[in-house]
Amino acid sequence: MTQTAGMLSLLRCKSCGRLDTAMRVVCAGCLSADLRPVGNDGSGTVATFTTIRRAPTAFRDQAPYDVVVVDLDAGLRMTGRLDKDSAPPSVGARVRVLHSAGADTVFTVETP
């Protein structure tokens, strides 16, 4: 999947239309292999969040940091990190993707 700054790449099944955030070989809904990447602006709402103080090795130099569970406007729920420079998270806050690469997706809280 190709990732561009500020954009999220999702997979859409050409057979049943299901959207997915995961990199899959076949559709989790209908097992079709006809999956196509589709761009998404990564906008959504914080469903819940937590602060990670004892981070895994890959993110140890960034701790403490917040992890957010986001209900994307596209109708999917996904988990990501919150950018260090972001405003603090709160349930219901609007967020958008800053960058995404593989399983590492970084959100920022939108400020009015």
Residues that bind Zn ion (CB under 5 A): 13, 15-16, 18, 27, 29-30, 32
Name the residue nearer to Zn ion (CB basis): 6 or 17. 17
| Least Å from the CB of residue 31 to Zn ion | 7
Nearest to 76 by CA among 9, 19, 13, 15: 19
Q: In what order do the strands lie in the sheet with 8-13?
A: 19-20, 8-13, 35-40
Could you tell me the two tokens for 77? 């729920």
Residue 9 CB, nearest approach to Zn ion (Å): 17
Residue 1 CB, nearest approach to Zn ion (Å): 17
- SS3 state of residue 58: helix
Residue 27 or 109: which CB sits closer to Zn ion?
A: 27
